[in-house]
Structure 1
Amino acid sequence: MNRQILIADLLKRYGSSAVCEGKEAPVLIRPMNQSSTEDDRYLCTAPFDFCPKTGDRLQCMEHVYTVLRCDGVFAEGHRLYTWAVLELQDGWGR
């Protein structure tokens, strides 16, 4: 099993379903700043083939986020997974 598939399988097992621009994928979303409960920025880890663009809206677990930045982690010229910085737009606490 290659690393791309291994990471995608781990995200499928432990992640939550997200939808961005009509495409669905399992993702992990966690706060960027662990010490502050008021910060509305989050780091998203997604499979290699899930590639949102800056400005896209991502929905996950009744929350709506805006993609601020997105890129991939690469090894030997292949994308292993995608990461994105998200800003919470609505949901709990809003």
Structure 2
Amino acid sequence: MATSLKIDDVLKSRIQNLASQRRRSAHWLMLDAIQQYVEREEARESFKQEALSSWAAYQETGRHLTGEEVRTWLNTWDSDEEEAPPECHE
């Protein structure tokens, strides 16, 4: 799929300068930037959908953990007394 981008001369010059400094082509630099953006936005959307799903489950069941319960559990990570995750409750 061929796609073209229209960028202003100032940005084009900046891209070319950076590409030269990095010893990469301007094309490579732009593809890398687009890939990073898409991956970041996909992760953000996934996080948002997970949060909405969790909120819907909470509204349906009322089951939850308090912030203090989670902090207490997380504080055991990477220690000899690492605990299993706490059980959700109403």
Name the structure with the higher strand share: 1
- Both structures adopt the same fold (TM-score exceeding 0.5): no
Name the structure with the higher helix share: 2
Q: TM-score scaled to structure 1, two decimals? A: 0.24
Structure number with higher relative contact order (C-alpha < 8 Å, ≥ 6 residues apart): 1
